[in-house]
Amino acid sequence: MADVVLKNIRKSFGSVDIIKGVDLEINDGEFTVFVGPSGCGKSTLLRMIAGLEDISSGDMIIGDKVVNALPPKDRSVAMVFQSYAIFPHMTVRENIGFGLTIAKTPKAEKDLKVQEAARILQMEHLLDRRPSQLSGGQRQRVAIGRAITRKPEVFLFDEPLSNLDAALRMDMRMEIGKLHHQLGATMIYVTHDQVEAMTLADKIVVLKDGEVMQAGAPMDLYHHPKNLFVAGFLGAPSMNFAVVNVEKIEGDQITVKNDAIAETTVHVQGRSFTVGTKATLGLRPQYLSIADERDSCMMGTIVLTERLGSETILNIKLSDGSTMIAAIADDQIFKIGQSVGLTFDADRAHLFDELPSASDAAH
């Protein structure tokens, strides 16, 4: 197993800078997830770790070796892609053993390794089938099986489950979690799926435009986002942002309000504010609740309701024309056009010293 360290890694395609100085330490055995908007450089970064893409500058270290100049086969990494990359004319057994065949591994050893991978992935009974006789999830397991037989120190997954339907994704997500537990290997995983990121990761790395916005444990990022981008990116539905005026500051107690939101005091550490300036109040939809008018700190009109069974999502237009999304527990019936009061727990509110831009809007 191995640590993976990126030191000021940069990548340009022609004159376009795509990866703009990434520093990252991924510990041995850690499950790290890269998330970020489409085009931010997740696949490029993964391909650079794999050796499939040159590094423009910086150092890539796997284990204790600088691997900048090493070809993929000498890096002890195995990559699993979104498209299964398995051969239709080969059986599952041949597909799983393909890397070993190429490496001219003796037959007995190859059979043993294929058998072992099939056992881990619970597909021993499928070894003689061809890909056309498999489900999508089973096909992806074949690709993972091929990666396992190579006994890599580092597994790289680029959105391996995104072609699967929701139920299968959930099964496969749990299988990948188990696989990580069983093999104890370092794994780096790219996904667009929040749930995959939050549940699988020891560490989430949020990327934007080729830069790391924040890296840390999932709950650290969720509860203590460093900036508006991370705050808006993690969590579904996204955090609400309201531009507010800073009214009063007492130590780390900051009192804010705006035309729609009554005066509220938020406890903030590590950011500084100035009375009379604007700031952004961040409220997660789950922490908003319905209140009587006299107990509420904002009033609005329901413009849309989504009943999901376990929760009810309300889209509420406030008196100043801005929108709040509230996620109310359980199945509750609200009417469009209904007027409601909202309140929130100030301890769960965030206050940022920056104002929202278009890219911080809901994802």
Ligand X SMILES: Nc1ncnc2c1ncn2[C@@H]1O[C@H](COP(=O)(O)OP(=O)(O)OP(=O)(O)O)[C@@H](O)[C@H]1O
Using CB under 5 A as the criterion, which residues of the chain lie in contact with Mg ion when the complex forms? 43
Kindly tell me which of 44 and 258 has the beta carbon lying closer to ligand X.
44
C-alpha distance from residue 264 to each of 240, 252, 267 (Å):
15, 13, 10
CB of 210 to Mg ion, least distance (A): 13
Whether the CB-CB separation of 323 and 298 falls below 8 Å is answered with: no
CB of 42 to Mg ion, least distance (A): 5
Three-class secondary structure of residue 143 per DSSP = helix
CB of 197 to Mg ion, least distance (A): 14
Binding partner of residue 179 among ligand X, Mg ion, none, CB cut-off 5 to 8 Å per kind: none
Q: Dmax over Cα atoms in the chain, in whole Å? A: 78
Kindly tell me which of 192 and 317 has the beta carbon lying closer to Mg ion.
192
Which residues on adjacent β-strands are paired with residue 264? 256
The DSSP-derived string for 271-305 is: ----TTSEEEEEE-GGGEEEE-GGG-SEEEEEEEE
Tally Cβ neighbours within 10 Å of residue 128: 10
Kindly tell me which of 167 and 358 has the beta carbon lying closer to ligand X.
358
Residue with CB nearest Mg ion? 43
CB of 238 to ligand X, least distance (A): 18
Kindly tell me which of 140 and 312 has the beta carbon lying closer to ligand X.
140
Kindly tell me which of 47 and 146 has the beta carbon lying closer to Mg ion.
47
CB of 169 to Mg ion, least distance (A): 17
Tokens representing 32 are 């790290």
Kindly tell me which of 41 and 152 has the beta carbon lying closer to ligand X.
41
CB of 137 to ligand X, least distance (A): 21
Binding partner of residue 11 among ligand X, Mg ion, none, CB cut-off 5 to 8 Å per kind: none
Picking from 258, 266, 227, the residue whose alpha carbon sits closest to that of residue 344 is 266
Binding partner of residue 284 among Mg ion, ligand X, none, CB cut-off 5 to 8 Å per kind: none
Peptide bond into 237 cis (omega under 30): yes
* CA-derived radius of gyration, the chain: 24
Binding partner of residue 176 among Mg ion, ligand X, none, CB cut-off 5 to 8 Å per kind: none
Whether the CB-CB separation of 360 and 232 falls below 8 Å is answered with: yes
Contact positions toward ligand X, by CB under 6 A? 13, 18, 36, 38-44
Binding partner of residue 184 among ligand X, Mg ion, none, CB cut-off 5 to 8 Å per kind: none
Beta-carbon contacts of residue 121 (< 8 Å; ≥ 6 apart) = 141, 144, 145, 148, 175, 179
CB of 80 to ligand X, least distance (A): 14
Picking from 313, 317, 297, the residue whose alpha carbon sits closest to that of residue 305 is 313
Kindly tell me which of 9 and 328 has the beta carbon lying closer to ligand X.
9
